[in-house]
Amino acid sequence: MLECRCPQCRIGRVFTGSAYSFHKQRTNEVCAYCGLQFEIEPGYFYAAMYVSYAMSVAEVVGGGALIYFLTRSESPTLYAIALFVIIIASSPINYRYSRLILLYYLTPRLKYDSKYQDLYEQRHQD
Ligand SMILES: [Zn+2]
């Protein structure tokens, strides 16, 4: 999951490009390797917003606690600026991993199938 691979074959990539680039992030429609359709039904990735929200809350709470322990500051401006930076900096990560968490853990229908990995290894042996 950390490498943003397809939940079914673990070979094909779920996203185009890298998380931090100037190109707009895109989720591939199907896995280039096993043909799995990532957006299983229309609006499927809306559910990822809830995952993303939970991740943001965790990051903001964690970031706020970290700033407090590092600086012992009580300045609201410092927290506002720092948390804003945290939210902006982590948004590409939230975008990717909220979708991956949804694909890997919250969709029981999607299962890892080792036959794809076996096929892949056979092909790359010679
Ligand atoms: Zn795949």
Q: Is residue 10 part of a domain?
A: no
**Strands of the chain, DSSP E:** 15-16, 26-27
Give Cβ neighbours of residue 65 (< 8 Å, ≥ 6 apart).
none
What's residue 25's pLDDT? 80
Q: Is residue 125 part of a domain?
A: no
Q: Give the number of other Cβ atoms within 10 Å of residue 119's Cβ.
A: 14
What's residue 126's pLDDT? 62
Q: Is residue 2 part of a domain?
A: no
What's residue 125's pLDDT? 77
Centroid of ligand 1 to alpha carbon of 113 (angstroms) = 9
Domain range enclosing 56: 15-118
Question: How many domains is the chain built from?
Answer: 1
Centroid of ligand 1 to alpha carbon of 58 (angstroms) = 30
Residue type at 32? A
User: Which tens digit of pLDDT belongs to each residue from 6-42?
Assistant: 999 999 999 998 887 777 788 999 999 999 999 999 9
CA distance to 34, 37, 38, 126, per residue, from 120 (Å):
10, 19, 20, 11
Q: Is residue 113 part of a domain?
A: yes
pLDDT tier for residue 2 given thresholds of 50, 70 and 90: confident
State mean pLDDT over 66-92.
Answer: 94
Distance CA 21, CA 42 (A): 27
**Chain center to CA of 104:** 10
What's residue 36's pLDDT? 95
Centroid of ligand 1 to alpha carbon of 103 (angstroms) = 12
User: Which tens digit of pLDDT belongs to each residue from 43-63?
Assistant: 999 999 999 999 999 999 999
State mean pLDDT over 50-79.
Answer: 95
Distance CA 66, CA 55 (A): 16
Centroid of ligand 1 to alpha carbon of 89 (angstroms) = 29
Centroid of ligand 1 to alpha carbon of 13 (angstroms) = 8
- The model's pTM is 0.88
Which protein residues have their CB within 5 A of the ion that is ligand 1?
6, 8-9, 12, 31, 33-34, 36
Q: Mean pLDDT over all residues of the chain?
A: 92
What's residue 42's pLDDT? 93
Q: Is residue 5 part of a domain?
A: no
